[in-house]
Amino acid sequence: MRFPSWATILVLAIFLALIPSFRPSVYMLSFLSLLLMYAALATSWNIAGGYTGYLSFGHVAFFGVGGYTTALLLIAFKWSPLWTSWLGGLLAALFATLVGYPCLRLHGPYFSLVTLILALAVKVIVLNMRWTGGSSGLWIPLPPWDTFTTRVIFFEAMVFLLAFVLLVARAIYLGKIGKGLTAIRENEIVAQAIGINTTYLKMVAFITSAFLTGVIGGLYSYMQNYIHPDMMFDPTISVFMVLMALFGGAKTWFGPLIGAATLRVVDEILTLSIQAEMARILFGLILAGVVLFMPDGLSALVVQSVSKLKKVAAEKVG
Amino acid sequence: MNFFLQVMISGLLLGTTYALLGVGFSLIWGVARVLNITHAIFAVLAAYAAYWPMKLYNLDPFLILLGIIPLFFLLGVLLYEGPIRLLERRTPNLELSSLVLTFGLAYALENMMAYLWSPGPRLLNTPYTGHSLSLLGIYFPLTQVYSFLLSVVTIVAIYLFLYHTHLGKAVRAVWQDRDGAVLSGVNLHSVTAITYGVAIASAGVAGVAMALIYAFNPAIHLGWLIYIFLVVIMGGVGSMLGAGVAGLFTGLVINLSVLFIPFAWSNLLLFSGLLLLLFIRPRGLLQR
């Protein structure tokens, strides 16, 4: 996998950040914010799921922890989620540290199952606590700006987060840690045998991934007027993270981005034109289809066609 | 005291259905090395298959079961011959890929049911719902007794199939040693297909048994799946007796915990129990 330089990521982010100056509609801005959010989520999921091969089906737990942290702090102390979302991330990271050690001792399907169950368990806890609003949910105070400004602020925040997540993912992947994580994905026993501290590396990847997911969740809850455990801990969000990363291609940096963009557009069109359930049926089938027909995701197709073009070009020149 | 006994016995009756779900799940896991996430969704599908004819034509669920069993056997074979076979040829890591594949299929099926029949809860309202049987001062709801009988008969049938037929012997051979079985002339392909058929048919029966007692909706399959994991991990794959005991234990815990803690927390108790079990045995007691 070739990561772009950090300058490329920054230029891309600045380019994206300029979009609101063209005064798009509020709907368009919300749609793009969600698209960027899912791109950031899929990229953070990929740090644990794609680099190490430990497929977590329970990342929504970190998302929800982040979201509830900012919402509760906003209601109790009027602290703005724009900065408390980092606290939400820290709390999610703390939670990941607690559960990560025992979970990461499990391999393959067992790990996926336990993370799935863990997310369900966290949802049950939040649903039954009084201080989280329980099953009646929480009303979030409205941001103090007019609708368009609010949407622009959320959009810019998401652009910033996506760039941040990409830079973190880049640093991890290109650094020594990334080499170790790839070794773990390819063959964990061999990695251990050549002296890689696999437990430590897996924990770093898992906690970083959880931290970023928590930060994004913290901002997401601020974008809503009302949150409920059913939506902040919706297993569908976990499914989306896995699906987007795998669909785009978990082995490349831009895979999760393509995956998120494609699936968000498909989801929006299907939900508007047919029905949400129809969209989900299709997503389930896409997930199955990705495993069957393109295990390396869309990005593999892109990479293949690019190298083919290069070959053709080289032949013409030569 | 009588109340306590009552709760315990109804927990045990319930447990047999969990055991049945666990037995079918571990059949596929043992023979084909596939963690079949669709197992519980097929159970829910069977619950709907029993619900509609009863609702529309007043047919008894037990009569409908005669159709459900062969139909679900066929669905199981199709599941194997279609997606799973395709995957087997393409993936180096069947355990993990099949998990993602069946997860996707289950998700699609769940939402298909929600789309067709609404996500709301349904209840099998049979002529004997609400009646109960009294024995030594303890009352058994008739639906619970029928559900229990259904599960027990099916478990016994699977046992007889595995241990007293030639084909069952082949299934056990593949389970114990794949290569060895093939070398001794077992047709791996057809044995695996039949295993899928038997397992999914048993999931169908278990779904009807569950529907006799509980309200169901498309999304409930995740909850049932957790019971299945609990039973399979506790009992260990490869042991019908283990699954039976683990199923009874699960039913007992579910019913007893409701006496002491609010219902919502009893699920949490089960989750923590399952997590604890997996942490003590990282490879799962699943690993034989």
Give the HSE-up count for residue B261: Cα atoms under 13 Å, Cβ half-sphere. 11
Amino acid at A226: Y
Domain-embedded: residue B285: no
- State the pLDDT at residue B1: 60
Q: Decide if B56 is inside a domain.
A: yes
Assess if residue B287 is contained within a domain: no
Interface contact B275-A280, CB threshold 8 A: no
Say if the Cβ atoms of A121 and B111 lie within 8 Å: no
**Total CB pairs under 8 A between chain A and B:** 121
pLDDT in tens, A106-141: 777 778 878 888 888 888 888 888 788 877 888 888
Q: Which amino acid is at B161?
A: F
**Distance between CA atoms of residues A118 and B181, nearest Å:** 38
Average pLDDT over every residue of B257-286: 71
Is 0.95 topped by the overall pTM? no
Q: Is A186 on the interface with B (CB under 8 A)?
A: no
CATH of the domain at B276: 1.10.3470
Q: What is the ipTM of this complex?
A: 0.81
B95 — pLDDT class (breaks 50, 70, 90): confident
- Provide the number of structural domains found in chain B: 1
Return residues 105-124 of A near B (CB < 8 Å): 105-110, 112-114, 117-118, 120-121, 124
**Cβ-Cβ contacts under 8 Å for B198 (sequence gap 6 or more):** B24, B27, B73, B76, B158, B161
Which residue of chain B comes nearest to A294, CA vs CA?
Answer: B90
Q: Do A124 and B108 touch (CB under 8 A)?
A: no
- State residue B288's pLDDT score: 47
Query: Shortest CB distance from A108 goes to which of B91, B95, B278?
Result: B95
Whether B239 maps to a domain, the answer reads yes
* B18 domain-assigned: yes
3-state secondary structure of B21: helix
- pLDDT tens-digit series, residues B190-223: 999 999 999 999 999 999 999 988 889 998 888 8
Q: Nearest-CA distance from B263 to chain A in Å?
A: 10
pLDDT in tens, A49-63: 888 888 898 899 999
Phi, psi of B216 (to 5 degrees): -135, 155
* pLDDT at residue A19, as a whole number: 87
Give per-residue pLDDT as tens, A177-220: 888 888 888 888 898 898 888 889 999 999 999 999 999 999 99
Q: What is the mean pLDDT of chain A?
A: 86
Structural domain that includes position B23: 2-280
CB proximity B237 to A under 8 Å = no
Bin A129: left if φ > 0, else alpha if -120 < ψ < 50, else beta. beta
Cβ–Cβ below 8 Å for A114 and B264: no
pLDDT value of residue A78: 86
pLDDT category at A288 given cuts 50, 70, 90 is confident
Q: If you search the block for the tokens 């159970």, which residue do you land on?
A: B43
The domain limits of chain A are 6-240
The per-residue pLDDT for B286 is 47
Q: Give yes or no for B50 touching A (CB within 8 A).
A: no
Q: Which residues from B are below 8 Å from A127, CB to CB?
A: 264
Q: What is the percent of chain B where pLDDT is above 70?
A: 95
Task: Give the residue-averaged pLDDT of A167-176.
Answer: 89
3-state helix vs strand vs coil in chain B, percent to 5: 80, 5, 20
